[in-house]
Chain A
Amino acid sequence: MLQLNSINKSYRLGQLEQQALFDVSLDVAEAELVGLCGPSGSGKSTLLNICGLLDQQFDGQVFFSGEQVTGAQQAMRLRRSQLGFVFQRFNLVPVMSAFENVEYPLQLNRIAAPQRKQRVNELLEAVGMLEHAGKRPDRLSGGQQQRIALARAMVLKPRLVIADEPTASLDSQTAHQVVSLMKQLSHQHGTSIVVATHDDRMSSHCDRIIRLEDGRVVSDKEALCVA
């Protein structure tokens, strides 16, 4: 579903050029939950950005559903229709209600209002937030906000969800609920998930763990990740 071939990525810091990824290649299969682990500065976020088609400044090739991604417009179109995102700090739009936040990707894709309403309600129910649909993010707890963020990421039934430390800001119980929900929705919709995490609770749910160190993949297997 997602294929990265020989990705090299460097950042320029003044006169210095810092290599962030060295010849990284990976494949993400349909409905697979892949965890990216590694210490700070290992290149997790850089790789996650490339997986999420957020960064096109790198050497190498990215294929999404067999289609090579080569430009910003193409990446934007794919992100809009095929990808979902979950962030560590939820990143909900504060002036939108929970319902409107979840509805936003559907609006972007010009889905008709009745279908939008039905789909949003389904997702809110699935994440147990239907009764909070009218509330703005500032009236919701961290766990509730992350559920809304998860519903927003899944509302389009995307082929791939990118999650950046989705449980880092949550307590254990809530984190467990959110991880379970992610896995459940992933299996329901056949959605692949790539998640960057330091969190054992998260990585223990992954089908596959890719460990990065100094910009290189040092292991790629089903294993408990300890950051």
Chain B
Amino acid sequence: MRRLTQAWLNVQRNRRRSLMSVSIIAIAVFALLSAGGFGLYTYQSLAEASARESGHISVTMPGYFDSEEDYPLQNGIADSGALIKSLLSHQQVKAVQPRVEFSGLASNGEKSAIFIGQGVQPNEFRQKGPFLDVVEGKLLDSYSPDEAPQVVLGKDLARNLKMQIGDWLTLLSTTSEGALNAYDFVVSGIVSTGVPEMDKRLLYIDLNAAQALLDSQRVSVVSMYFYDYQDVGPMLHTLAAPGAQQTPSLEYTPWWERAVFYDAVRNLYNRIFGVMGAVMALVVFVALFNTLSMSVTERTREIGTLAAMGTSPAEQLRGFVYEALVMALIGCVLGIIANGALSAGLLVADIEMPPPPGRTDGYALQVYFSPMLALWVTISIAVICAGASAIAALKGVRKPITEALIYV
């Protein structure tokens, strides 16, 4: 405690210089935490979006995502009902959604366009939450063979085919037997995914309608959703355990293996933040080295006096390291407080970021406050400051005592 007190008093010897160093540390910590907090927010948002899109775990026949089918649902799951029942028996599982993925031509009678379709259960929209922006109309109702089947169109596909709510649209696709099949659907809703390329091609129809169109009872993929996404890893082990294998054997793919955009953004941000962190570390190192070098030079005679009394170089170095740690601690606390204020301020301010490349919708700017990140940044800054101070002090404590004592 006394050493810390003396370090604090030494820090105050040249207040302006120490204040400058502490300010640089605080700014560096603030910048690192803010950038990191923004990264964490982005990662979490993208992770949630990816997991919501594909499900936390996608259950398919082996090789479904790696190989092209010769005909629709060739690699589909035949008895999806039993599988869904089995998967729902796990208490961590919140919902299981079967899906048929298909493609074909959509026509309004005068004009046709290629589509990428998804056959889903109508409750999937409710279960996944607000992942689509409903531009017009509504999402799918429950399918009834007695009523006209409904279709929800991406907004650019609807505009291309000049579709309005209530209009009829013919979907043409190849059945699982290789024949052509067509059904008429009534447009119930027009949506935007926020990705223009998807909005040009995407449509949703009911799962049963999709199976009827493709003339198959199979589904392409069964998506599992969990209450807590931390359960994904353990559940993967459980499902892949030898005794738990389904017949026929199935493939379980976690969301992150299909989250290409998430991976790309994360890799990019990690590199950017890595470079930024290295630059900040260098700035802090130089600032502390400069401050401590001046301090060591000014205190050369004091160093000589202490050495004359038998203080070892290591003990003298420790004193300077304590000083650097005091400055690092103060700077980190200030930086963390500023970051916390920014995080809280952004929650209130509701600042909108422009849409990322390839997207049409912006998103709220938020910076997460992560205690773990703050701890790591503090430790890193402390190590950098300790290193800078030790190197700066080395020159002073290595000076011969007789020279140090007459230093003016």
Contacts and interface: CB of A to CB of B under 8 A. Distances in A.
Interface of A: 49, 52, 54-55, 76-81, 83, 85, 87, 91, 93-96, 100, 104-105, 108, 152
Contacts of B141: none
Given A76-B312, A108-B310, A87 B13 contact: no
Contact of B302 (A55, A79, A91): A91
Contact of A49 (B306, B315, B402): B402
Interface string B294-325: 00000001100111111110010000000000
Contacts of B405: 54, 87, 91
Interface residues on B, range: 20 to 34
A29 B308 CA distance: 22
B310 A95 contact: no
B6 A76 contact: no
26 contacts: A54-B402, A54-B405, A55-B401, A55-B402, A76-B307, A76-B310, A78-B310, A79-B308, A79-B309, A80-B309, A80-B310, A83-B310, A85-B305, A87-B305, A91-B302, A91-B305, A93-B305, A94-B302, A95-B9, A95-B10, A96-B6, A104-B306, A104-B309, A105-B310, A108-B309, A108-B315
A93 B306 contact: yes
B402 A105 contact: no
B305 A52 contact: no
A89 to B, nearest CB: 8
Contact of B311 (A83, A95, A100, A108): A108
A49 B405 CA distance: 10
Contacts of B302: 91, 93-94
Interface in B1-41: 2, 6, 9-10, 13
Contact of A105 (B9, B307, B309, B315): B309
A55 B13 contact: no
Nearest to A81: B310
A105 to B, nearest CB: 6
A49 B304 CA distance: 12
B308 A85 contact: yes
A54 B308 contact: yes
Nearest to B5: A95
B63 interface: no
B151 to A, nearest CB: 79
B400 interface: yes
The interface residues of chain B, by DSSP majority, are classed as: helix
A54 B399 CA distance: 12
A100 B3 CA distance: 11
A80 B401 CA distance: 14
A77 B310 contact: yes
A55 B399 CA distance: 12
Given A91-B302, A104-B309, A108-B315, 19 more contacts: A49-B401, A55-B402, A76-B307, A79-B310, A80-B311, A81-B310, A83-B310, A85-B305, A85-B308, A87-B305, A91-B305, A91-B405, A93-B302, A93-B306, A94-B13, A95-B10, A96-B6, A100-B2, A105-B310
A91 B405 CA distance: 9
A92 to B, nearest CB: 8
B13, B302, B305 pick with most chain A CB within 10 angstroms: B305
A81 B9 CA distance: 27
Contact of B401 (A54, A81, A94, A105): A54
A63 B118 CA distance: 95
B13, B309, B311 pick with most chain A CB within 10 angstroms: B309
A85 B405 CA distance: 12
A83 B301 CA distance: 18
